[in-house]
Amino acid sequence: MRALLNFILRNHFFFVFLSLMMVSFWMLIEQNSFQRAAFINSSNSVTGGVYGTWTNITSYFYLSEDIRMLQEENARLRSLVQMGKGINEEAPVTVIDSASGFQYIYQPATVVSNSLNQRSNFMTLSVGSDEGIGEDMGVVNSKGIVGIVKSVSGHYAAAMSMLHKDTKISARFKRTGYIGVVQWNGEDPQIFTMVDVPLPAEIQKGDTVVTSGASAIFPKGLMVGTVLEHEVIPGDNFYTVTVRSAVDFGNLSHVYIVRNLHQEEQLQLQQSVINSEDTR
């Protein structure tokens, strides 16, 4: 023990330097979105491989729960496929949204790692660019929306969770059709806040909140959560709505990445409209 203390005392300048360097590196990554994204992208393959090995080991202890979740997801996917043609359950599932005309492909993936206790939570998924996954693709499971892919490597993807301070999703009330923006309140992982809901909206406790289809990321009608309560801040013209998430973010194992095959076309059209308005 004395030898250990002597070693630390002799090299205390080195340990102080190492500690300061680690703190500086953490602050750089935490406070700068560009450096954070670059760090996540470069570390995907390394962390993905480590977490993948750990997941393979621990998955044996949760086989019964995984089977139950897979059965629920297969039931959901079967309900989405309305055509009576043969269904290959091992292949990605294609869904046509007849309301908007967009075509979506659901790519199965496994959650390799997932954080809950940060203001900016990410998850690592088991598919990457080699499987056709790219940035700004939606992530869902059998219960509802989960997040958005922000960075990919060959075999892994880093997704920004719904439990991220910068995640904002266009959503609507299924019963009335009124639209608002859903974001995490930064505290309870099961509670979202829906803002920008106009006062004429009729809101009831228990109302279902789903994706609006206004973005190029998620199809219309995917589950977000249910209303717990709502209020109007004095002097404001909009409701602030508390929504309980349909997804249990502490128990994520199997998800689907949503590819909108017409995403680029939709974004280009929206941008052209914005540019034309700016020139007026």
| 6/96 Cα distance (integer angstroms) | 70
Q: Beta strand 145-152 with 138-140: parallel, antiparallel or unpaired?
A: antiparallel
Does residue 43 carry a pLDDT above 70?
no
- Of the two residues 224 and 24, the one the predictor is more confident about is 224
Q: How many CB atoms lie within 10 A of CB 169?
A: 25
Does residue 102 carry a pLDDT above 60?
no
Assign 92 a pLDDT band (cuts: 50, 70, 90). low
The whole-number pLDDT of residue 88 equals 45
Contact 223, 190 (CB under 8 A): no
Name the nearest CA neighbour of 39 among 112, 109, 120, 132: 120
Mean pLDDT of 94-123: 79
The whole-number pLDDT of residue 52 equals 64
The whole-number pLDDT of residue 236 equals 85
DSSP state of 128: -
The pair of three-digit structure tokens given for residue 36, joined into one six-digit string: 């954070």
Does residue 79 carry a pLDDT above 50?
no
User: 153-187 pLDDT, tens per residue?
Assistant: 999 999 999 999 999 999 999 999 999 999 998 99
The pair of three-digit structure tokens given for residue 107, joined into one six-digit string: 């790519």
Average pLDDT, the chain: 79
User: 214-231 pLDDT, tens per residue?
Assistant: 888 998 999 999 999 999
- Of the two residues 214 and 90, the one the predictor is more confident about is 214
Name the nearest CA neighbour of 93 among 208, 219, 213: 219
Assign 95 a pLDDT band (cuts: 50, 70, 90). low
Provide the 3-class DSSP secondary structure of residue 256.
strand
The whole-number pLDDT of residue 144 equals 94
Name 172's bridge partners: 179, 210
| 104/218 Cα distance (integer angstroms) | 9
Lowest mean pLDDT among 67-76, 182-191, 255-264: 67-76
Contact 121, 275 (CB under 8 A): no
